[in-house]
Structure 1
Amino acid sequence: MIVVTGATGQLGRLVIAALLKTVPANRIVAAVRNPANAGDLAAQGVQVRRADYTDAASLDDALRDATRVLLISSNQIGERLAQHRAVIDAAKRAKVQLLAYTSVLRAAVSPLGLAGEHRDTEQAIRESGVPAVILRNGWYTENYTAGLGNAVAGGAIYGSAGAGRISSAARRDYAEAAAVVLSGEGHAGKTYELGGDTAYTLAELAAEVSRQSGKDVQYRDIPEGDYKAALLGFGLPEELAVLLSDSDAQAAKGALFEEGRQLSALIGRPTTAWSETVAQTLKTL
């Protein structure tokens, strides 16, 4: 039995879709805080179980009969470690054979502000003794392409990444890697540094958006504080604005660059070209 936490999130749904290609639906559990939001998964034959990080009994029930568990990192910054520990403890009680965790690129040494909770979670997993694999996900290309509507309309992509190169991949690439690990063998004890095959700067991203959209879009590099203020102005919550502006500033120093190509090796194909993700996004505008 394979259990996927956070299964109604963007990554979780893609992981389940990838698993369904090779794993019978009744052997997949979608562990979600609100089962009412998982009706589409239940309709495909996936088991839906309630899983609340603050309710140990719900986690024990969600992980019932589980052999493999994917712990998708929580999006509640500042509360993630306690939430993750609750799942780790439940996995230990369930005696799962493999716990996979979605961490962040080079978590052990990363200067990213968001890396701290990931480092602590990785340590908690090691201390638990549960057989585990760490999926250190790099940046999602969608983190940038989600804002292309405003960029095309305003003629600019704003950021603080300077000339830093970003080895992002499409969210579905990381989801497929998780599915490969959950349904395969020989991954326990491993840590994968995952990123896209081809890196780019935000200036190159802006140039590609200009080429594809036929509109003049420039990259405007601004100080981290100004970028945070701009994100707040776009309506982003404080915690997310801090996360994104810090991540851009650290990208300028190489924090989001990875050339090991472990992601494409895991999924058995090249990662989705960032220009393709740009094209897919522009079609929706």
Structure 2
Amino acid sequence: MEWRGRRGSGNIEDRRGMGTASAGGLGLIGTLVVLAVGLFFGVDISPLVGGMQGESRPGAERQLTAEEGEIGQFVSVVLADTEEIWGDVLPGQTGLDYRDPTLVMFSGTVQSACGGASSAMGPFYCPGDQRVYLDTDFFRVMQRQMGAGGDFAYAYVIAHEIGHHVQNLIGVLPRVNSLRARVGQADANQLSVLTELQADCFAGIWARHAGERFGSVQRGDIDEAVNAARAVGDDILMEKAGRAPMPDSFTHGSAAERSGWLIRGMESGEMADCNTFAEAGL
């Protein structure tokens, strides 16, 4: 993916190095509260929670490394690309205006309008403040523990979270949260899966239009994104954590589902083809 030297976004808030607590700062109870609230929409790596806690750092303020600085520039460029693409696609296909979200980069733990979360929760979107939260160490986890490295794989993660922002703008997230509060656990899990798969499809729409508009997609980039989508499938994460996959407990979708909906968005480029809820009979 060609990103160096390109325009970055001004909607970045960098909290890395600001003296936040370590990744384990919330403790088990705090993590369970976040899981129970059901307001965080992101890449669920809770089955690999120990891996991120192993990367925790003390809370003293510090200077960012050169590597962290470069990662921040990369995130800024990807976010700028999503702003430009969705700034055209959303009004063009729905008649609604796109409002740019803010992306917060943090280290260890973070506070949001949805509450507190640790790095172990993975990247997430909070509808309450319309912000995406990302501990950039997650990219290292993707490469080392998930076998899903590469710039375009990381860009897919950001685009997936922006997909949740799009869902919020079109009213999907408020409806999902309302429904989840009134149904049993199995049905609530299914609603979460459908929400995540639609965000994957929206990420595919971004990838298609970004490739056409910016010419930044290189050979092999699509394979990186598809591999990343598979790597964050619930079944794969459970297997890596030594647990038997249990479909009724899935909240984000299987590897095949996640990669399949990402590919659908890439091939179509149309939001109407990303209606996971309609295909599920809802």
Q: In proportion to residue count, which structure has more strand?
A: 1
Structure with a larger share of its residues in helix: 2
Larger RCO (CA within 8 A; separation ≥ 6)? 2
- The interval holding the TM-score normalised by the smaller chain is under 0.3
Rg larger for: 1
Give the alignment's TM-score, normalised by structure 1. Answer: 0.26
Q: TM-score, normalised by structure 2?
A: 0.26
